Structure 1
Amino acid sequence: MTDTFKRLEGAERDSRRPLGEILDAIRFNDDGLIPAIAQQHDSGEVLMMAWMNRESLEETLATSQVCYWSRSRGKLWRKGESSGQQQRLKSAALDCDGDTLLLQVEQTGPACHTGRRSCFYVVLEGEQARIASAPLIDPAALYGQS
């Protein structure tokens, strides 16, 4: 844990620190990434987990349009740029260690590339896995494929 986050443990409620100081203290992994959990701001529904680097986090904070780092594409991924299913940032918070982000978002349509509202639809129950939701939109239609 960085000294910054250790000092924050004893910080009083509503005390403030410069954003740059906190961004400098984030514990990005060896690839320069931090996991970001997206949660629907009004219902608490967990929608997805993706990765952010400092650039995507700074863009998200500056524009309120959520931007992630796509590991498969090796570039910034502005949520909804191909599907139209955008995430508008309502708030962002770091965990106590500075190594995980929680994004409170306003999700437009499904968050999952499968067309489902949430990426967390495979429920593990005893000796089975159950599919807990159906797609809201056919993934082929979502991404303009025939």
Structure 2
Amino acid sequence: MEQELADLQTELAEAATDEPLESYYMAHSEATAEQLDRLEPLFEGLGVEPGAIESASLSGLRTERDDRVADLQDPVLGDLVEAEFGRAIERLELTKLETLLTLADRMDLPMRSSLRSSRLKQRAVSNEFRSFRPDTVRSRF
């Protein structure tokens, strides 16, 4: 799911017309790619190869986003939809990370501190993005 999120954030950055929103998605895409590197020891600890697993939650969010954006003619409204979608995927990403941390705790895996650090960073990003409103919206309303 992390790789799909990194790709999706790049896609959202390209779709954004608001410069701060575009910058946010590009920076977060890079942070997600770094998180992928931090997750590799978890898979090694479990003795499994990481692989793509489709997330029904993420697919549903993406479909909802695509449906909303498809009918919009106003780029400002599109940025609002993109920002709301960003908040939703942040919550999903944090939930998945907390699940991994619980698994690592129960299995007494050594990468727990790394996962805790990732969770703190993810919470900070989520809190920062919670109040984000595209600049184009601020200037119009």
TM-score (norm 1): 0.22
Higher helix share: 2
Task: Say which structure, 1 or 2, has more relative contact order (CA 8 Å, 6+ apart).
Answer: 2
TM-score (norm 2): 0.23
